[in-house]
Structure 1
Amino acid sequence: MNCDVLVVGASPSGIAAATSSAKAGAEVILLDKEMGESFDHPANTFFDGMFFRAGLAVEREYVLHDLDGMRIISPGGCAIEIPAPGRFIDRSRFDALYLERAERAGVELMRGMAKKAPLAGSGRRVETDNLGEIGAQVVIDASGVDGMIARQEGLSPLRHPEDVAWAAEAVVELAGLGEERRFEYFIGSISPGWKATFSPGGGDLATLGVFVRGHGRDVRAYLDRFVEHFKKYKSADYDVREMKIVSINRGGDAIAALPDEIVSDSLMVTGAAAGMSGMAYAIRAGGMAGEVAAGAVESGDVSKRNLSPYDRLWRREFGLEYRMGRASLLTLGRMADEEIDRLAADLAKRNLALSGTFFRKGFSAGIALARARPRTIPGLIKSFAEG
């Protein structure tokens, strides 16, 4: 088999890359080992601002529950209320919808696993586990944080692979719990390096998750501890003894890993495999990659030089935002629970103007942080400079 563009991984970013390449006129194959299967994902919530920032529209077909905003909760229980509309979604329906659109655009969906993608002439020969070899002018690796294609071909797509956050998330059932109207984020040692989350999913369903950096892949112990903490936190409002765990999902999030080498001859990397965290942002990045790949194929030049506009486009649109996010996360990670409590108490007294785009929200929060706790500024600047 041969094609112009082969996308490895039917992640949101991979589907977007395949669709944009096909719409630009390329012959595209999208390859995934679980193509067509329905399974749960730790990523099932988003804020509207992130979707709008990435040029996407929120569609009702996959929305299960609407939220009014978020509540950030310090280790001592101080809560900061932030209005920011968001959605809890059906990830299986979300993925299926985008796969349907990819097929309508002309993408050929194939079930299989890519093992290697060595250079062969002006393109690459992709070795699969069940389909033989597939020849492609350009290969786009969108296979997630554990993706090996780009690494096997000599690229280091994650600048800080040690800072991938490993997640464990429980789908829970308790009468009325899913009808709450705010996401809740618990920060501090309850989930070292990032956050623990409560996401109401409508009706009686919700998810409880931990996203932990620096403590290995197996974070189930942190999830168990958070579930017990959450029960105590909600015990005044619910009979938490009746809460049942329906299922547990696991995954990795490259929230602080940042992209590094994401382009080579006939090869591109996008989405979580390239350190591009956030579902909406990953979709936007995949769209960029697909458009550039199709243009390179049409020009007859699929060299690194001719694929590099993708790298430049991404860094121009999102690079500063991701570096700011990493710096903020590292600064928070260095703070003891007691210091986080003092910071939260200071911020709770202020009127946080977190409106507009995701970038503006982050900038406004940074200004508020600097005003509330000036001592955090040197660490923030150092982390940003180190990138």
Structure 2
Amino acid sequence: MGDKKLKVAELFAGVGGFRLGLEKNDFSIVWSNQWEPSTKLQHASKVYEARFGKAQHTNEDINEVVTRDVEEIPYHDVLVGGFPCQDYSVATTLHNSKGLKGKKGVLWWSIHKILESKKAPPKYLFLENVDRLLKSPAKQRGRDFAVMLQSLNELGYAVEWRVINAAEYGMPQRRRRVFFIGYHKSTPVYKRLFKSSKTDWLTETGTIANAFPVTKTTAVDTITLNGDLVEITNNFNKDGKLSPFQNTGLLIKSQVYTLKTTPLYDGKRVVLADILQNEEVNPEFYIDDKDQARWKYLKGAKKEKRTTKEGFEYNYSEGGMIYPDALDNASRTIITGEGGKSPSRFKHVVATKKGLRRLTPIELERLNMFPDNHTKLEGITDTKRAFFMGNALVVGVIEKIGAELYKQIHV
């Protein structure tokens, strides 16, 4: 099957979650890019290079690369990446549509430039984002996603999407993300999608439906994307309180088909207890007696008066959290601030025979289905390793979608 390997360019590579999932199938990473804009030391890129080698890996702002020459990125069949959720609105309103360009520094437009400018653009896209993309910004729900869909539509792609919570398919973390697959109009998959029943594609025959089965819970809504990117930026869902985009949908030739689906899964479920290290855990992960009360307070329910810096008094309330974390369920979402000793409402705490403790870097890696010690490297702190996992994706989701995308392409 070696000759059938699909070539992949991996953007926003982090510590290589997409790569780990795709290399379990017949995908070959021919180029990768990781750049952390706010830090001098490029820790994630260092880990990536340590695991996968320096060849074909770049540690440079992707904006700089695409501005210089998109052909520096070698030919690839599939472009993948978890791109940052930012404000995608179009900055200019030139009458000449060639002048439409997104806001400077918004990384969606780097992807756009690759697709628009490469002599042989990728035939397939496989992208990931936080699910709030479907409903941002608050004053114009769904506008950013509509800009993204219309820009891909103008470039000749059909796109299917689904919001997936990894735990609802037996994986160890309740991490909800939106995944997109794009098909260029020159591909047989695009032509199949165009001819198919859109409901069947989204619930039975499509790439994501095969990877993650669902039942249909609402009728399909259709939306027509009208106008260029400036018009969509200015007018999309102007008066709507809710985003028109449901958790499942597709766009093809300006038509959006979207519906709400529910996961269909009755297989094995991995829970927090399953991923805990049984061997000795470093004492620094155990919670000090002197900190117990602070942890309890932060995790607990609150109704109290608080005062702003300006002296304004207000009522503050929040619900309690399960404390310590339930071992018989998938874990809560890992966040970037998961590491470090300081008490926190959001860090995970587990009860063990030796007492309450935080999760170790290996346990956090397991929750994202990374190999043990994937992020272990000289000069990389445990706090930084936790930060990587707060930014990472669940490798099992990529693996399953990748397997179905490969089949879909090789029908």
TM-score by length of 2: 0.27
Higher relative contact order (Cα pairs below 8 Å, separated by 6+ residues) = 1
| Higher percent of residues as helix | 1
TM-score by length of 1: 0.29
| Higher percent of residues as strand | 1
